[in-house]
Amino acid sequence: MLDTVVAGFALTLLSPLLALIALAIRLDSPGAPVFRQKRIGRNSQPFAMYKFRTMRDGTPQMAKELLLQQGGGVAITRVGVFLRRTSLDELPQFLNVVLGQMSVVGPRPALYNQYDLIASRRDAGVDYLFPGITGYAQVMGREDLPLVEKVAFDSYYVKHVSFWLDVKIFFLSFYAVIIARGAY
């Protein structure tokens, strides 16, 4: 219930910023400013996660590492670079929270084709929780963390989940955004 209230308040409060970001994306490159990305949520169930578009329209939806392995360049737009660095591309996920698909704090949802991450999280019991807009692994290193460490941080969160840990992670998220460690 608290997640829904926080997310609804955030969407209302941030609506002018959301509109400005959408306009900047449209002016920077053709395509819709918001897109849905297939992610794996609670109990390994897929759902459509909302994000601001940071790549050129038509770029395959896969982890950046997989895209590079297949010889595809990462086609990040000019506005997309800024959105990723500041994590503003994640703001539409407050809608996922309102829809009951995500939580404000929890393990970040894996892409549907990150099979090793999905399996490791399932084995560690991480997929029992709703995925979050921010999470313990994000404040501890985000994309700079190897898979094993990500899962270890997510597993720690599952074992120690509490209101106060969520508050700590929420505020540490602002610091993680400011230093932009692991944001690409």
List, for residues 123-132, the tens digit of each pLDDT value: 999 999 999 9
Residue-wise pLDDT for 13-60, tens only, equals: 999 999 999 999 999 999 999 999 999 999 999 999 999 998 888 776
Judge contact between 118 and 131, C-beta under 8 A.
Answer: no
Q: Count other Cβ atoms within 10 Å, centred on residue 150.
A: 26
Q: Which domain holds residue 18?
A: 2-179
67 belongs to a structural domain: yes
124 belongs to a structural domain: yes
Give me the number of domains the chain comprises: 1
184 belongs to a structural domain: no
Three-state secondary-structure class, residue 148: helix
Judge contact between 131 and 99, C-beta under 8 A.
Answer: no
Is this prediction's pTM over 0.75? yes
Residue-wise pLDDT for 135-165, tens only, equals: 999 899 877 788 899 999 999 999 999 999 9
